[in-house]
Amino acid sequence: MKKLFLLRHGKAGIGANDKSRPLAPHGKQDIFRLGQYLKTSRMLPDHIFCSSALRTKETYNQIQAGADVSLPADFRDDLYLADAKYMTRLIQNFDQKISDAMIIAHNPGLAQIFHSLSQNPSNEQRGLAFPTGTLAIIGFDIDDWSELKNDSGRVLQVIMSPEIRKNT
């Protein structure tokens, strides 16, 4: 089984332009707590693919800090505002040695890919708009990322920032 973690960056503050917007203080705190949760739940990814925007890089740093680990990552300009079709092709080309991959990126692409890959979203998840700090974990019964298809993933968990605040 392959697992895909889809993480929208934490709540952002103000920057000179959209790509240079940093995380807001509570955005940093929420993502730090998410990193702690992933570590204690033993759900850390093998590799992270991260948009090159400042807020996604800071999200990556906060996940690592909260989990107290160093996670390998590729920082990619092409993930900045990428759509679901593009992300699907990217995932299909992941190295097969990666079992659990995380994408840290932006909306609307993350909401689109969540809905296109998920075969069993709950009633609550069907209309999920993917607010900042949301993490969805989707499992695929495949051996090779190239086998990834729409409507083939089983939603394993969806975690939103308010839930992390409440449970830590």
What pLDDT, in 10s, does the model give residues 82-103? 999 999 999 999 999 999 999 9
Domains along the sequence of the chain with CATH: 2-167 (3.40.50.1240)
* pLDDT recorded at residue 128: 80
Structure-token match 């332009």, residue found: 17
Over residues 1-21, the mean pLDDT reads 95
* pLDDT recorded at residue 129: 84
Question: How far is 6 from 8, CA to CA, in rounded Å?
Answer: 7
Q: What rounded mean pLDDT belongs to the chain?
A: 93
pTM of the model: 0.94
